[in-house]
Amino acid sequence: MCVAVRTVAILIFLIAGSAGVFAAPAAKSHPKPKPTIVWLDSARKCDAAVVYTEARGEPFAAQLQIGYVGVYRSELNEHGWGGPTVCGVTMSGQFSGIKGKKLVIKEHTAWQRALTVADDVRRGWRPRGELRYATYFLNPFLSTKDNRCWFERALVPIAQVGLHVFYREPLSAENPQPSGECVVQTASR
């Protein structure tokens, strides 16, 4: 009789356990943080906005390089790039995801990292070698064929950092050479 009672008790325990009766209470899930609106009212926030919108999933080295491109463009003070300020460059309409003077932040950890990158660049971080002259960047995996081909026909590629390829404008004697899908086939007679 004792064995039968024990067997029944074990079966009840197993059945109840598989139904979650004896399970530990579920951990409380933390609600997702609500999106935050950030006003782009300082060079730090403007440069961080470029990093956040263009490269938040990229390695730190790629984020630094992207942050540098915005600052370098402002240092060159070209009117077409938005003038001599980082915010002018940022809000010139050249960076995807930045429309106007405010930015909606949905990934707060990524925003904090973008601010760190902006701080590093503003404190003087500069790339080595030819990457110092990068004025453009492109993630070919997220770009249209037309956009990729414009970059190949108009600019000189320097290097790839993370998923982004960095470019500079050609010197007067250089003629960028498109490759692959961007080569224009001429009809032979």
How confident is the model over 116-159, as pLDDT tens digits? 999 999 999 999 999 999 999 999 999 899 999 999 999 999 99
How are beta strands 156-161 and 36-39 bridged, if at all? unpaired
Dmax of the chain from CA atoms? Answer: 102
pLDDT in tens, 60-87: 999 999 999 999 999 998 878 888 999 9
Beta carbons of 187 and 82 less than 8 angstroms apart = no
Q: Extract the tokens encoding 41.
A: 């009212």
Q: Which two tokens mark 8?
A: 């029944």
pLDDT bracket for residue 184 (50, 70, 90): low
pTM above 0.75, yes or no: yes
pLDDT in tens, 6-16: 544 444 444 44
Place of tokens 């010139």: 92
Mutual angle of helices 43-55 and 108-122, in 10-degree steps: 120
164 token code pair: 């982004």
